[in-house]
Amino acid sequence: MENDISVEIFRLQAELCQSFASPQRLMIIHQLKDGPKSVGELSEILNLKQSHTSQLLTVLRKAGVIIPERRGNAVFYSLANPKVITACEYVRAIIAEDLKRRKEIGEAL
């Protein structure tokens, strides 16, 4: 029973991580850190077609990363949990450390 729960937790973690596996979805998350935005606003900021932006938002919504809120005729999206920004910042820190290490190795050659 406990093993089943562990497997489910890892499955959910993998699903969440998969939703981050797109530069454009990460850019959307970055834009939403400052507050809710509509599909139109995100499309304009990121220079994407609205249909493509909607597809990206659907992946993030299904993974539970963002939540939609209808306001009149428009739907605004916001982060479901601000800790997602912290997670992204940790990943960037790991990348920065790795790039620094690689540079040092390259200089040593």
> What's the CATH number where 21 sits?
1.10.10.10
DSSP labels, 68-92: EEEETTEEEEEES-THHHHHHHHHH
**Average pLDDT by consecutive 10-residue portion of the chain (109 residues)?**
82 92 97 96 97 97 96 95 96 93 84
The reported pLDDT for the residue numbered 34 is 94
In a domain, 95, yes or no: no
Give a yes or no: residue 54 inside a domain.
yes
Domain that holds residue 7: 2-80
Q: Would you say residue 94 lies in a domain?
A: no
Give the count of domains, the chain: 1
Instruction: Quote the pTM value.
Output: 0.85
H or E stretch at 37: strand 37-38
Residue 97 resides in a domain: no
> Starting at the edge strand that comes first in sequence, how are the strands of the sheet with 74-79 ordered?
37-38, 74-79, 66-71
